[in-house]
Amino acid sequence: MTITVKITISLKDGMLDPEARAIQHALSNLGYTTASLSTARVFNVGIDTDSPEEAKIMAAEMCDRLLANPVIHSYEIEAKK
Amino acid sequence: MTITVKITISLKDGMLDPEARAIQHALSNLGYTTASLSTARVFNVGIDTDSPEEAKIMAAEMCDRLLANPVIHSYEIEAKK
């Protein structure tokens, strides 16, 4: 069975997000005032296993070893059937 | 009141995603076999309004005019309190 794991990687609180500031600025130029704007990346990963728990553990390892930078990123993992 | 709208922008079905392929390849080199992998971007936008409906309409306009490329992207909008 394939379990799809949704990994959301975002910047930790307090980290500067220049891309978000640039987007906020561009939106403001188009006339859209925003109170806040933050960005995140999502990876939907299909893992061949029967256990959602195992899939989540594997996804956390992927984050720690490749996808996220522990100094600046935090991540959330959610298993979809 | 500020309503936070979560905008998820992903590639339309059938679009090539070279970044996802590169990540899949890198994960495979680390010993993680994945059945599939797709990427998406998330923007959490705070909008000053009392109406979640108005916030969602404004977010859709932001996608159409700046955030998404209608040729290759699809987007989902979700209003959080």
Report the pLDDT averaged over residues B50-68: 97
Interchain proximity A23–B30, CB inside 8 Å: no
ipTM of the complex, rounded to two decimals:
0.92
d(CA B35, CA B17): 15
User: For residue A21, what is the enclosing H or E element?
Assistant: helix A18-29
pLDDT number for residue A76: 98
Per the CB < 8 A criterion, the answer to whether B59 and B2 are in contact is no
Q: How far is CA A63 from the centre of its chain?
A: 10
Contacting residues of A for B30, CB less than 8 Å apart: 62, 65-66
- pLDDT, tens digit (0-9, with 9 covering 90-100), for B12-48: 999 999 999 999 999 999 999 999 999 999 999 999 9
Closest by CA position to A57, among listed A38, A30, A33, A77:
A77
User: What is the predicted pLDDT for the residue at B23?
Assistant: 98
- All structural domains of chain B: 2-80 (3.30.1280.10)
Selected for mutation to probe chain B from A45, A47, A61 (highest B CB count within 10 Å) is: A45
CB-CB: which of A27, A47, A65 is closest to B30?
A: A65
How many angstroms separate the Cα of B9 from the Cα of each of A42, A58, A75, A80, B13? 10, 25, 18, 19, 12
- pLDDT level of residue B80 (50, 70, 90 thresholds): confident
